[in-house]
Amino acid sequence: MKALRLSALSMATAIGFAGVASATELTIAIVNNGHMINMQKVAESYTGVTGVKLNWVSLEEGVLREQVTSDTATGGGQYDIINIGMQEAPIWGAAGWIEPLSFGARYDVDDMLPAIRNGLSHEGTLYAAPFYGESSMVMYRKDLTDAAGVSIANNDSWDNIKAAAAAIHNPDAGVYGACLRGKPGWGDNMAFITTVVNSFGGAWFDKDMRPTIDSDEWKAAINFYVDLLGNYGPPGSEGNSFNEILALYNEGKCGMWIDATIAASFLEVDGVAYAQSPNAGNPVGANWLWAWAMAVPAGSPNADEAKKFIEWATSKAYIQAVANHKDFGWGSVPTGTRSSTYAYPEFQAVAGFAAAEMAAIESAAPEATDMKPYVGVQFAAIPEFPEVGSAVAQEMAAALSGAKSVDDALAASQAAADAIMSEAGYY
């Protein structure tokens, strides 16, 4: 039976299955990123083969999270498949909001990048299948660094990064040394800032889950961040996140950008070079790890069909389907999920960033360690984190725009985080 189903999914026995499951409809909530938009087109062939009708509901990230949470927390039923991130997957799995996923041998779950797979699992069970994954790395204009006589190495020191940013910073010519995230949001500026803090040896919480935002490591990291971005960043950095910086970079206004590896596939400027994320002594957690994944809410009446679709959409066959689709190609395949993707010579040929991206993802370390008791690199996989993260995010943006001193912002952050954690009954 399983073999039959799988062969149907790989579209080999299309004819035999076309009429069987025609009545099923799946409602899929997605965040409207490039890869998801492409999926809507690629999946037309899935509907053609299986007869399953797909209703897409695309939403902005924050609204999606809100609606999916309210649906799932009230027993589900509106969506059969939801797009969730690495922060939610393990928590929602633990709370029983989403169903555990297991796929057949053909799916080759071991092909999945281990860091991604761990991040989407709770106690060894996979709860969400990764659609695409990302880490963070340095992207910089080699022409500018060469002209300025500086260089950026893999896992460089932050001091050297700052020196390089200073050397290529030329606002009169419209080039800013470093473009970094500053827009408040736990998934925006805090994603980057947390990696800086990690690399300075800091963490969000100590072993009792008390926040440690007033620690020396945080102080050093935030002072460095405000100094680097304040002096060598573009004006209005406190409003910049991925999208805004991408626009700036493609305008040639950024000498250097440290952000999601997925950015590399959008860059149009020539002479881009990549380097692994810098650190200040602690390379563990200096680059983040994120995946947009697909999960089945516990209340879905079509759970079986939903799981079949997820199995297809996150399979090797899907990667091939995108690559062979008339509108797309190897440059558009979703990356960061399977090591087999990186082995295709066609993919390597079009993706100059492939090696750097894979190295970054593989070196990301979401597991709990002696230094931090929580899962996650640039976030903590606890239900309270979005609240803590956004509270701190606003303080950091205030420090960046100069409305508050770094010390005041950190003190306020610590107080806010402490209030949220004690309110939630951690201590």
| Window 218-237: residues binding other proteins (CB under 8 A) | 234-237
Distance CA 155, CA 374 (A): 24
Q: Is 345 in the site for other proteins (CB under 8 A)?
A: no
Cβ 138 to other proteins shortest distance, Å: 18
Q: Is 314 in the site for other proteins (CB under 8 A)?
A: no
Q: Is 242 in the site for other proteins (CB under 8 A)?
A: yes
Q: Is 267 in the site for other proteins (CB under 8 A)?
A: no
Distance CA 68, CA 71 (A): 5
Distance CA 231, CA 94 (A): 44
Which residues ranging from 366 to 385 are in contact with other proteins (CB under 8 A)? 382-384
Contact flags string 59-78 toward other proteins, x per CB under 8 A = xxxxx-xxx-xxx-xxx-xx
Q: Is 274 in the site for other proteins (CB under 8 A)?
A: no
Distances (CA, A) of 119 to 62, 242, 328: 21, 22, 29
Q: Is 41 in the site for other proteins (CB under 8 A)?
A: yes
Binding-site member from 253, 282, 368, 371 for other proteins (CB under 8 A): 253
Distance CA 380, CA 238 (A): 23
Q: Is 210 in the site for other proteins (CB under 8 A)?
A: no
Which residue, 29 or 354, has its beta carbon nearer to other proteins?
A: 29
Which residue, 261 or 363, has its beta carbon nearer to other proteins?
A: 261
Binding-site member from 81, 260, 306, 360 for other proteins (CB under 8 A): 260
Which residue, 150 or 229, has its beta carbon nearer to other proteins?
A: 229
Binding-site member from 22, 102, 125, 250 for other proteins (CB under 8 A): 250
Binding-site member from 266, 346, 369, 407 for other proteins (CB under 8 A): 266
Contact flags string 158-197 toward other proteins, x per CB under 8 A = --------------x-x--------xxx-xx---------
Which residues ranging from 87 to 106 are in contact with other proteins (CB under 8 A)? 91-92, 94-95, 97
Q: Is 329 in the site for other proteins (CB under 8 A)?
A: no
Binding-site member from 34, 48, 104, 301 for other proteins (CB under 8 A): 34
Residue 185 near residue 241 (C-beta atoms within 8 A):
yes
23 burial level (CB within 10 Å; 0-12, 13-18, 19+):
exposed
Instruction: Give me the sign of the Cα torsion angle 224, 281, 87, 234.
Output: positive
Distance CA 378, CA 87 (A): 9
